[in-house]
């Protein structure tokens, strides 16, 4: 599939293409519906580029291999769905702790457990934020179209490299399996970010030493720089510590390297917001229909606005506080039993009422469901 040519592409394939564009050359995974096409695409394409595809024995091994590859200097990715994502949680926490840049794709299907393998859901939204134990700050992006999936996958890699952290791409069965006509950008058209490398002499290298922006340069293994990677809370060299100031320093760093750069990470699309009284907040495949509904409502003279969370985590606090300042009603639409709605409730002012539009039967919202909800709220 050459760049520039208009072609029919599946969301999962756009994710694989975006990853390769961003420089991903290592993929380890275990197939699971509805994510399997990502693995299939990587198995086919990576060897041609001198990259590596490994089908592992399970998802625990998959994320382990990805972290190993990341530490060895590669841009690495794995893709899965709910059950596999649950299995990966312990090692995703390890990646947060050792600050290994990597990308994990979760093509969501209905849960809990094996749930609905072939049906759409957004019920892992909170698991992405709180899935592994301990205190940490997560980054997750949520594309809504096939084209978006390509560019947001590049962005996910850029964020992972920039902030040395795992980044989750939240897809869902509809986007993953949907095919649209798209043309991909030429090499060089989209920005690609690489992790910084140490420039000091190897003997002076501190893996987690003091930094200006909380992100340390990361050497390629085997080039003489020594560091110790452990899941235990560690000091500037990576060695285990329980000294209170070092413990607090490490945890603050994990938080601050993301929270202090919220404006760089958080991406929100806002349409029809100028005088909006009722605002639809959504993310992922739901946003397409939400945008159409806002347009239809405007056509009927009803002041409906549209907000799409392109970054779901960290939750775009500042942007949403500002955008929702004058809203009378906010309708948060999700394919789950109500997850991101809690984040919206935490930030709105007392004059704004927050409502949930929920669906969890394995299908997406129709425009009529949105219109009916807006009518209900207007009464």
Partner 1 sequence: MSSTSLLEVQIPEDRFEIRLSGSGGQGLVLAAMLLAEAIGADPTKSVIQTKSYGPEARGGASKSDVVVSTGEIYYQKALKLDLLLAMTQESLNKYYPDLKQGGTLVIDDTLVSKVPTEDYYGLSFTRIAKDELKNVMVANVISLGAIAAITDVVPLDALLTAVLARAPRGTEEVNRIAVETGYQEGLALKQKKGQPATV
What residues line the site for partner 1 (CB under 8 A)? 6, 8, 33, 117-119, 174, 177-181, 277, 285, 288-289, 291-292, 296-297, 299-303, 364, 366-368, 371-372, 374-375, 378
Nearer to partner 1, 13 or 312 (CB): 13
Rounded CA separation 361/47 (Å)? 39
Nearer to partner 1, 98 or 293 (CB): 293
Nearer to partner 1, 10 or 76 (CB): 10
Nearer to partner 1, 9 or 22 (CB): 9
Rounded CA separation 43/55 (Å)? 9
- Torsion-angle region of residue 284: left (phi > 0), alpha (psi -120 to 50) or beta? left
Least distance in Å: CB of 145 to partner 1? 9
Nearer to partner 1, 89 or 326 (CB): 326
Least distance in Å: CB of 328 to partner 1? 9
Q: Output the six-digit token pair for 169.
A: 């791409």
Least distance in Å: CB of 292 to partner 1? 3
Rounded CA separation 56/37 (Å)? 16
Rounded CA separation 47/31 (Å)? 18
36-45 and 11-21 are packed helices; what angle lies between their axes, rounded to 10 degrees? 40
59-71 and 82-98 are packed helices; what angle lies between their axes, rounded to 10 degrees? 30
User: Which of helix, strand or coil describes residue 132?
Assistant: coil
Least distance in Å: CB of 147 to partner 1? 12
Least distance in Å: CB of 364 to partner 1? 7
Query: How many other C-beta atoms can be found within 10 angstroms of the C-beta atom of residue 351?
Result: 9
Rounded CA separation 196/355 (Å)? 44
DSSP state, 234? B
Least distance in Å: CB of 307 to partner 1? 16
Nearer to partner 1, 7 or 196 (CB): 7
């Amino acid at each position: 599939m050459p760049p520039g040519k208009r072609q029919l592409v599946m969301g999962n394939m756009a994710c694989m293409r975006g990853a390769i564009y961003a420089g991903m050359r290592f993929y380890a995974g275990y197939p699971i519906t509805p994510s399997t096409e990502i693995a299939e695409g990587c198995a086919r394409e990576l060897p041609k580029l001198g990259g590596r595809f490994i089908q592992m024995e399970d998802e625990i091994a998959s994320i382990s291999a990805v972290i190993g590859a990341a530490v060895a200097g590669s841009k690495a990715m794995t893709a899965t769905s709910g059950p596999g994502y649950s299995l990966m949680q312990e090692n995703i926490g390890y990646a947060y702790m050792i600050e290994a840049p990597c990308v994990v794709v979760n093509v969501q299907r209905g849960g809990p457990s094996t749930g609905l393998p072939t049906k759409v859901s957004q019920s892992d939204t909170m698991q992405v934020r709180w899935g592994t134990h301990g205190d940490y700050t997560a980054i997750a992006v949520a594309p809504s179209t096939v084209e978006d999936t390509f560019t947001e996958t590049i962005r996910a890699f850029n964020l992972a490299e920039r902030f040395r952290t795992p980044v989750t791409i939240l897809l869902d069965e509809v986007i993953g399996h949907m095919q649209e006509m798209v043309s991909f950008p030429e090499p060089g058209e989209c920005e690609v970010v690489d992790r910084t490398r140490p420039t000091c002499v190897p003997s002076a290298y501190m893996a987690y030493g003091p930094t200006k922006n909380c992100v340390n340069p990361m050497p390629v293994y085997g080039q003489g720089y020594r560091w110790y990677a452990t899941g235990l809370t560690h000091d500037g060299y990576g060695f285990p510590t329980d000294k209170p100031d070092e413990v607090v320093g490490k945890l603050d760093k994990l938080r601050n390297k993301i929270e202090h750069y919220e404006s760089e990470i958080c991406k929100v699309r806002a349409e029809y917001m100028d005088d909006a009284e009722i605002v639809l907040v959504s993310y992922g495949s739901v946003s397409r229909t939400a945008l159409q509904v806002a347009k239809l409502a405007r056509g009927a003279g009803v002041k409906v606005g549209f907000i799409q969370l392109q970054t779901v985590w960290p939750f775009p606090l500042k942007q949403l506080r500002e955008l929702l300042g004058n809203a009378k009603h906010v309708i948060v639409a999700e394919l789950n039993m109500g997850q991101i709605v809690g984040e919206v409730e935490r930030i709105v002012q007392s004059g704004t009422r927050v409502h949930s539009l929920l669906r969890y039967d394995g299908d997406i919202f129709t425009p009529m469901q949105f219109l009916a909800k807006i009518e209900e709220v207007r009464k």
